[in-house]
Chain A
Amino acid sequence: MNALVKQHLIDPEICIRCYTCEEHCPVDAITHDDNNVVVDVSKCNFCMDCISPCPTGSIDNWRIVATPYTLEEQFEWMELPAQEDGLEAGTDGGGSLEALEDEVGALLARAHEGTGGKPIAPASASKPSVNLFNRAKPARAVVQGNFRLTDAAAENDVRHIILSLGDQVFPVLEGQSVGVVVPGTDDAGKPHQPRLYSISSARDGEKPNANNIALTVKREPGGLASNYLCDLEKGAEIEITGPFGGTFLMPNDPAANIIMICTGTGSAPFRAFTERRRRTSPNASGRMHLYFGARRPEELPYFGPLKKVPESLLHQELCFSRVDGAAKEYVQDRMRKRADQLVPLLNDGNTHIFICGLKGMETGVDEALSDVCRGAGLDWASLKPLMRQSGRYHVETY
């Protein structure tokens, strides 16, 4: 069987044949006859230039196929064929497709286990592009910068790494991840498995329109990928795959409240969320609350830059568990103390909760949410699945 392919298709029942997409396609992948407007799978490079000029939304259709539909087949269509069963059931309804590669899909499924059921993307999230690059065909990224985020004296080394994608089309959304492929082979002589890292920059780039992304990487003792990344020098070229993830995504709606709970490098997607909102709707009616835990201030990634983010954009609750002379405080402790702030948010149908960090934080946070709810006459056990089913509860832990 051929490798599965994500194919770009146009819904002939919605398309009005204005040919705007055809005019805009930079690689001439779109053509038409008297019946239909169609996309040539051999030419489309997923640059998405056709998506926003389409007045109908008919252009924004994708199918996972073993054998791509030919132009001739597409010309004959009166309606768009349904997604073939068994290949990927999740492409319809909320863009829940996380990855096309089994091993990455499994990694993400494990990371999202704490959601407590099938994760569902926020209703107002943009449709993600997924797995445009894989191990057989990786994207090449050039390191534009590699900066230590934690204090020089701190024992942990967390780095902010900026990667340029050059002229490759690599569309990302806040909350998505990339796969990093470490060169070489393992002891058994096999290529290394890709490691996933959340993107910590906004969709339009670390620098707007520069076609680059940022990653937040903590050096793990003996860690293959993290040491590889943390040691990269400016100008180095690496291979990445992705983008990955189709559910842990930022809601676009400016009225959406976003509660973000994280530790360590779990802050990466939330840096992206915050930057996105700062750039697009700094006066949004929706509130953003950040619960961020670290051992000490000097070990908290982005501690300096965070101090400059105004309260009007981001309400911050930073908590530390190893400050000399102070009681240990974890994010769940702070959440209990801030029940008065959390309760109105939990009562609001526009509120989304995102949890990101180490697996170990899940239980504590879940219990804290339970306690906060109980104190206000709410039942977290029934609220959580409701929030999950409406795309408002997300967990990504490793």
Chain B
Amino acid sequence: MADLVNVDYNTSIPNNVNLADDRRVLKALEKWHPGYLNWWNNMGPDGFQESLVYLRTAVSVDPKGWAKFGYVKMPEYRWGVLLAPQEEGRTIPCGEHAGQPAWQEVPGEYRALLRRLIVIQGDTEPASVEQQRHLGKTAPSLYDMRNLFQVNVEEGRHLWAMVYLLQKYFGADGREEADQLLYRQSGNEDHPRMLGAFNEATPDWLSFFMFTYFTDRDGKMQLEALAQSGFDPLSRTCRFMLTEEAHHMFVGETGVGRTIQRTCEVMKESGITDPYDVNRIRALGVIDLPTIQKKANMHYSLSLDLFGSEISTNAANAFHAGIKGRYKESKLEDDHKLDNDTYPVLRLIDGKVVVSNEPALSAINMRLRDDYVKDAAGGVNRWNNILKKEGIDFEITLPHVAFHRHQGEFSAIHADPEGNLISADEWAKRRDDWLPSKADGDFMDSLMKPQWEPGKYAGWISPPKVGIDNKPGDFEYVKIAGAALNS
């Protein structure tokens, strides 16, 4: 019998789905593989493909084996197909088929819907690698560089995860979609990535941290919803991806936290108590707290857009079909059908922001977004605890959900961070108070100088409290090859 926990490294593609006996899919993936490597080499981390990076690789999907650490060159990373173990007797958790055995094959009537969901999820994975490809060169430490690359290779693996589902369950259409995932490129004018937030380059490391904190958290919530899918292979894929996604949340939360920590320390050393004394603080080579707030405003609002319209027929259909559940669906106590329920949705009605009770089925996106907002608020509290502990009078806040939106209810209006509706003129005047300006960007650029000496950190960020894999402070997380230094 095939071993479905330990990873099979005997086929060209590491996997725990018994590819050795699934020649058709193995062949399809082998055919896709060179294109993937080509994509990684051309669009992956720029200048570090020869470096030895201290990365974790899964050798099995059980807790003992899924994080083995060692030095590896990124193009030689063992990307593979890893699904969480199948749960005996799992049933469809929601919608009209709730309680029936989970699907092991694609149900015909939901084929197009499922394919669309998988393609959208799959498109975000390589997109973020593309967005972040230039960051290695300005890494504030080898520790941070390693974390960036870990995020990158795992996003690459998540692409593999989605491509496996496409190749295995969607025939010729799936193959075509798998190729398209490598063809579209972040920010490309002719063939961009599917979602707006994934077509902007990540300009600096604070943006990267904010992106992993806010935008990858959208990814986490989408994976949580797909992990509740009645289509079992998708559920199992997403469950394992979530284990990896936790590291991305970690990079974001601690990256922003360490930036705040350093700013506080430098302010105190220099006797600055006013967080709005921006010029003096910047002159000390750290990022002022108001700029950190602006970055948070930016990435939070762009990430909210990723949840789509508050009221959505597509989302209702996916839930009703049992293709996509709610956050922690299996732990919720209701009928899991929502046919007669309502859910409070913040809407723009007659020019006012009001709470309106809407059919719960239509409000599935809204509900997932609410869970996201709660999840995102937790880490913001912990950032504020740092400020409190350091005795700096400043609080990071999440702006109102109507602020700076391009999707859904509030896309046509302007609101300030408190959610007050304002005119376009007022917005234009105040925009740079709330979102990073060109000048803020120039300042950030000026700070982005590499610090590649083991154990050293750029002046704007504190060292982490513990190393990766319990490594000591001066551990050489990336052994940079000569090529990177010269390129």
B partners with A: yes
Of the listed stretches A14-22, A225-233, A267-275, A292-300, chain B binds A14-22
Tally A-B pairs: CB < 8 A: 63
Report the bound CA distance from A127 to B247 in whole Å. 21
Q: Which has the most chain B C-beta neighbours within 10 Å: A18, A126, A280?
A: A18
A52 and B250 contact, Cβ closer than 8 Å, known pairs A124-B471, A254-B71, A281-B70: no
CB-CB < 8 A to A254: which residues of B? Answer: 70-71
Interface size class of B (residues with CB under 8 A): 20 to 34
| B243:A20 contact, CB within 8 angstroms | yes
Say yes or no: is B378 at the interface (Cβ < 8 Å to chain A): yes
Report the bound CA distance from A24 to B85 in whole Å. 12
A49 and B63 contact, Cβ closer than 8 Å, known pairs A18-B249, A55-B250: yes
| A18:B246 contact, CB within 8 angstroms | yes
A17 and B465 contact, Cβ closer than 8 Å, known pairs A49-B63, A53-B67, A254-B70: no
Q: Which has the most chain A C-beta neighbours within 10 Å: B71, B250, B379?
A: B250
CB-CB < 8 A to B382: which residues of A? Answer: 13, 16
Report the bound CA distance from A11 to B249 in whole Å. 17
CB-CB < 8 A to B243: which residues of A? Answer: 20, 23, 53
Q: Which has the most chain B C-beta neighbours within 10 Å: A53, A78, A126, A280?
A: A53
Report the bound CA distance from A74 to B196 in whole Å. 42
Interface string of B207-247 (1 = CB under 8 A from A): 00000000000000000000000000000000000110011
Report the bound CA distance from A89 to B144 in whole Å. 32
| B254:A24 contact, CB within 8 angstroms | no
CB-CB < 8 A to A18: which residues of B? Answer: 246, 249-250
Say yes or no: is A56 at the interface (Cβ < 8 Å to chain B): yes
What's the least CB distance linking B61 to chain A, in Å?
10
Residue of B nearest to A14 (CB): B465
CB-CB < 8 A to A375: which residues of B? Answer: none
A52 and B67 contact, Cβ closer than 8 Å, known pairs A57-B466, A57-B468, A57-B470: yes
| A123:B71 contact, CB within 8 angstroms | no
What's the least CB distance linking B201 to chain A, in Å?
25
What's the least CB distance linking A276 to chain B, in Å?
13
Report the bound CA distance from A58 to B250 in whole Å. 11
Say yes or no: is A60 at the interface (Cβ < 8 Å to chain B): yes
What's the least CB distance linking A88 to chain B, in Å?
19
Say yes or no: is A50 at the interface (Cβ < 8 Å to chain B): yes
A57 and B249 contact, Cβ closer than 8 Å, known pairs A52-B63, A52-B64, A78-B385: no
What's the least CB distance linking B227 to chain A, in Å?
11
A interface size (C-beta, 8 A): 27
| A16:B470 contact, CB within 8 angstroms | no
Report the bound CA distance from A20 to B84 in whole Å. 14
Report the bound CA distance from A17 to B385 in whole Å. 15
CB-CB < 8 A to A20: which residues of B? Answer: 242-243, 246
Report the bound CA distance from A360 to B70 in whole Å. 39
Say yes or no: is B66 at the interface (Cβ < 8 Å to chain A): yes
Report the bound CA distance from A57 to B379 in whole Å. 17
Report the bound CA distance from A281 to B253 in whole Å. 33
Chief secondary structure at chain A's binding surface: loop
Which residues 98-148 of A have a CB within 8 angstroms of B? Answer: 123-124, 126-127
Which residue in A13, A24, A127 is a CB contact (below 8 Å) of B63?
A: A24
CB-CB < 8 A to B63: which residues of A? Answer: 24, 49-50, 52-53
| B66:A52 contact, CB within 8 angstroms | yes
CB-CB < 8 A to B466: which residues of A? Answer: 14, 56-58, 60
CB-CB < 8 A to B66: which residues of A? Answer: 52-53
Say yes or no: is B472 at the interface (Cβ < 8 Å to chain A): yes
Q: Which has the most chain B C-beta neighbours within 10 Å: A20, A123, A280?
A: A20
What's the least CB distance linking B308 to chain A, in Å?
24
| B246:A57 contact, CB within 8 angstroms | no
Interface string of A8-46 (1 = CB under 8 A from B): 000101101110100110000000000000000000000
CB-CB < 8 A to A123: which residues of B? Answer: 472
Q: Which has the most chain B C-beta neighbours within 10 Å: A16, A58, A78?
A: A16
| A49:B64 contact, CB within 8 angstroms | yes
What's the least CB distance linking A257 to chain B, in Å?
16
A16 and B250 contact, Cβ closer than 8 Å, known pairs A57-B466, A78-B385, A123-B472: yes
| A56:B254 contact, CB within 8 angstroms | yes
Report the bound CA distance from A16 to B465 in whole Å. 13
Residue of A nearest to B62 (CB): A49
28 residue pairs bridging A and B, Cβ less than 8 Å apart: A13-B465, A14-B254, A16-B246, A16-B253, A16-B254, A16-B382, A17-B379, A18-B249, A20-B243, A20-B246, A24-B63, A49-B62, A49-B63, A49-B64, A52-B64, A53-B66, A53-B246, A56-B254, A57-B468, A58-B466, A60-B470, A123-B472, A124-B471, A124-B472, A124-B475, A126-B470, A254-B71, A280-B70
Residues of A that sit less than 8 Å from B by CB: 11, 13-14, 16-18, 20, 23-24, 48-50, 52-53, 55-58, 60, 78, 123-124, 126-127, 254, 280-281
10 residue pairs, one from A and one from B, having the closest CB atoms:
A49-B63, A55-B247, A18-B246, A55-B250, A52-B67, A57-B466, A55-B246, A123-B472, A20-B246, A24-B63
